[in-house]
Chains A and B, each alone.
Chain A
Amino acid sequence: MHALFHANAVDYIIILVYFAFVLGVGFVLRNRVRTGEDFFLSGRSIPAWITGLAFLSANLGALEILGMTASGAEYGMLTTHFYWIGAIPAMLFLGLYMMPFYYVSKVRSVPEFLKLRYNEATRALNAISFAVMTVLTSGISLYSMALIFQILIGWSFDTSILVSALVVLIYVALGGLTSSIFNEVVQFFLIWAGLLPIPLIGLHNLGGWQGMMSRLPAGFGHLWANLGSPSHNPMGIGWLGVVLGLGFVLSFGYWTTDFLVVQRTLAAKDLRAAQLTPIYAAFFKMIVPILVIIPGLIALAIFPKIGHSPNMSYNLALPLLIAKYYPPGMLGLGLTAMLASFMSGMAGNVTAFTTVWTYDIYQAYIKKDAPDKHYVNMGRWAVVVGVIISIGTAYFAAGFPSVMDYMQTLFSFFNAPLFATFLLGMFWKKATPWGGFWGLLAGIASAFAMYFFLPAHMFSSPDAGNFWRAWWAWVVTVVVTVLVSLVTKGKKPEELEGLVYGLSKRPDYSGYPWYKRPGYLAAIVLVILVGLNVAFW
C-alpha cells in the first residue's frame, strides 16, 4: 500500500523525542509511588488546572480528532453540537452538583460510590460492565491507531500495535495514575502545537471565514437554524433529539458517570479543586472545535470531492490537510500529536480499568484484607493484563472490523442508564438499594434490546438512533428505579449522609474571590456557551 506521507529523519527525531519523554516521565514518577492512594488516585494531591486538562484530554483521543474532523467535513458546524450542547452543560453539572458527593464520600471509584449509596450488587454490576467495556474500547482504539499509521506513514500493523502498547504499559505500570495524568496534559499541549497551524493556514488561504463559507453548501455554518425538522439537515436529526438524546442523557451519562473521566477529578487535591476540574475543562472544551471542526470545513472547501471519491474518505480529512500543508518537521509534530492523543487515550482506559479491577473486583470479592502494598502490586499486574487484553482485542478487531463498530455504538449508550441511577441516587433520598440495582439492570437490558431488536430504519440516521435509544434507556431506568423503590426498604438517613442532596453539607466558598469560586466560573462558561450558540445559530 502506498503511504500518504513520507516521513523524513527530522520527523522520526521528533517522534523519538516524544517516546523518550513519556518513558522518562514514568521513571521519574516511579519513586514517588508508594501507597495504593499514590498509584490509583495520585495521592489526591493534584492542582485543578492539571486535573482539568487531563479530564478533557482523556476523552480527546486520536479517533475523536479524526472522527470529528470527518464529521465536520460531512455535516458542517452541526458537528459542534457534540462539543457545545453535548458536553459543556454536563461538565458544569458534574462540577457544581455532583462533585461534592463524589469527592467528600472519599470513594476511589464510581462503582464504590454505588456500593455506598445502593448496595454491593449494584456495584458489581457496574464494576464488571465497566471493566469489560474499558479494555475492549482500548483494544478498538489500538486497532484504529495501527490502521491510521499504516495508511499515513506505512508502518506495519504489528509494529504500530506493539510499540505503542509497550510504551503505554511501561509508563502506566511505573507511575500509575499520575503518569497517565501527566501525559494527558502534555498531550493537550502537543495537539495544539501539532494541529493549530492547519486552521490558521487554511483560513488564511481561503480568505478568512467568509471566504471559506462561500465555498461550502448553504447551511454548513449553522447550529440550530436547520434543526426544525430532521429532513432539513444532513444529520437527519431534529432539535428535540439533539437536546434530549445528545445534550441530556448521552453527554450527562458520559461526562458525569464514566469512571475514565471521573477518576481525574478524584485525583484533585481538595474539594474546590475537584469541582473546578470539569469547569476548567469546559473552558478548553469550548475551543476544541477550532482544531477539529474548522479543519473539516476547510477540507471540504479545498477538496470538494471528499467523501465521494474512493481514495478520499471523510476520515482522511485531517491527514489530507496535513499532507497538503506540512513540510518535513511540522509533519513530525503533527504525527506526534496524533500518536500522543492515541496513547494517552489508551493509558486513560488502562488506568481506569486497573483501579476498578483492583478495588471493586479483586479487593471486594477475591482478597479482602491484604496489606496496601499487595494492591499496588496487583494494580501493576492489572496494567500488564489490561494491555495484553487490549492487544488481543486489537487483533480480533482487525478480523471483524464491523463487529467493533457495533460494540462501540453499543457502549456509547451504556452510560445513559447509569446516569439515571446516579441522578436518582444523589437527589432523591427515597431511592432504595434494590431500586437502584433493578433500575440499572433494566436500563442496560433495554439498551441492548433496542439495539438488537428494533429495525435500523426506524431512525432517520445512525446518530438519531443513538440519541433516541439513549433517551429511552434513561427513561426505563428512572421508571423501574422509582417503582421498585416504592415497594422495597430504603437506607436509614444516617447511612446516606454525604451521599444524597439534602443530607449533606453544601460547600461554602464565600471567603474566596470570584475567580476562584466554582459557581462564578461556571456562570461565565454558560454565558460564553449561549453567546457561541447565538453567534452560529
Chain B
Amino acid sequence: MNRFLDLRFMIGVLFVVYGVVLGVYGAAADPHTPSLHSNIDLWWGIVCLVFGIVFLIAALTRRSE
C-alpha cells in the first residue's frame, strides 16, 4: 500500500474531469475567438482526457501488481 501512487490517481481524476468539461462545452457551444477559428476547447479537452486516462491507467495497473 503505497499512498504516493494515489497522486497519479488524483491527477488522473482531475484531468479526466477537465477533459470532459472542456470537451463537452466545446462540442455543445462551439466557442470561437475572433483570431482563432478551430474549436480549441474540444481539441484541448480531448488532450486533457487522454492525459488523465493515461495517469489513471498507470495508477491502477501498478496497484494490482
A contact residues vs B (CB 8 Å cutoff):
10, 13-14, 17-18, 21, 25, 28, 32, 45-47, 50, 182, 185-186, 189, 193, 197, 201, 205, 324-330, 333
**Within the complex, what minimum Cβ distance (angstroms) separates B63 from chain A?**
15
Known: A327-B40, A329-B25. A193 touches B18 (CB 8 A): yes
Of the candidates B4, B17, B31, B36, the one whose C-beta lies within 8 Å of that of A329 is: B31
**Within the complex, what minimum Cβ distance (angstroms) separates B22 from chain A?**
5
Bound-state CA distance A363–B14 (Å) is 39
A14 touches B36 (CB 8 A): no
Q: What are the nearest 7 A-B pairs in CB distance?
A: A327-B31, A329-B41, A329-B25, A10-B25, A327-B33, A329-B22, A328-B31
Q: Which residues of B contact A330 (CB under 8 A)?
A: 22, 40-41, 44
Of the candidates B4, B6, B21, B36, the one whose C-beta lies within 8 Å of that of A325 is: B36
The residue on A at minimum CB distance from B33 is A327
A17 touches B17 (CB 8 A): yes
Bound-state CA distance A205–B25 (Å) is 24
**Within the complex, what minimum Cβ distance (angstroms) separates A238 from chain B?**
40
Bound-state CA distance A328–B22 (Å) is 9
> Which residues between 7 and 65 of chain B lie within 8 Å of chain A, taking CB atoms?
7, 10-11, 14-15, 17-18, 21-22, 25-26, 29, 31-33, 35-36, 40-41, 44-45, 48, 51
Q: Which residues of B contact A17 (CB under 8 A)?
A: 14, 17-18, 21
The residue on B at minimum CB distance from A302 is B35
Q: Which residues of B contact A197 (CB under 8 A)?
A: 40, 44
State the interface size on chain B (CB cutoff 8 A): 26
A45 touches B35 (CB 8 A): no
Main secondary structure of the interface of B (DSSP, over half): helix
List 16 additional contacts besides A182-B7, A193-B48, A201-B40; criterion CB under 8 Å: A14-B18, A17-B14, A25-B10, A32-B3, A45-B4, A185-B7, A185-B11, A189-B15, A193-B18, A205-B35, A324-B35, A327-B36, A327-B40, A333-B18, A333-B22, A333-B44
Bound-state CA distance A47–B6 (Å) is 12
Name 23 A/B residue pairs within 8 A (Cβ), A-sorted.
A10-B21, A10-B25, A21-B10, A21-B14, A32-B3, A50-B4, A182-B7, A182-B10, A186-B11, A193-B15, A193-B18, A324-B33, A325-B33, A325-B35, A326-B33, A327-B41, A328-B29, A329-B21, A329-B29, A329-B31, A329-B41, A329-B45, A333-B44
Q: Which residues of A contact B26 (CB under 8 A)?
A: 329
**Within the complex, what minimum Cβ distance (angstroms) separates A65 from chain B?**
19
**Within the complex, what minimum Cβ distance (angstroms) separates B35 from chain A?**
6
**Within the complex, what minimum Cβ distance (angstroms) separates A302 from chain B?**
9
A47 touches B4 (CB 8 A): yes
**Within the complex, what minimum Cβ distance (angstroms) separates B5 from chain A?**
9
Q: Which residues of A contact B29 (CB under 8 A)?
A: 10, 328-329
Q: Which residues of B contact A46 (CB under 8 A)?
A: 4
Bound-state CA distance A25–B7 (Å) is 9
A186 touches B32 (CB 8 A): no
The residue on B at minimum CB distance from A323 is B33
Q: Which residues of B contact A21 (CB under 8 A)?
A: 10, 14
Bound-state CA distance A325–B44 (Å) is 13
A50 touches B21 (CB 8 A): no
Q: Which residues of A contact B3 (CB under 8 A)?
A: 32
Bound-state CA distance A197–B51 (Å) is 15
The residue on A at minimum CB distance from B3 is A32
Bound-state CA distance A50–B3 (Å) is 12
The residue on B at minimum CB distance from A28 is B6
Q: Which residues of B contact A205 (CB under 8 A)?
A: 35
Bound-state CA distance A28–B15 (Å) is 18
Of the candidates A10, A324, A327, the one whose C-beta lies within 8 Å of that of B32 is: A327
Bound-state CA distance A25–B3 (Å) is 12
Q: Which residues of A contact B41 (CB under 8 A)?
A: 327-330
Bound-state CA distance A186–B31 (Å) is 27
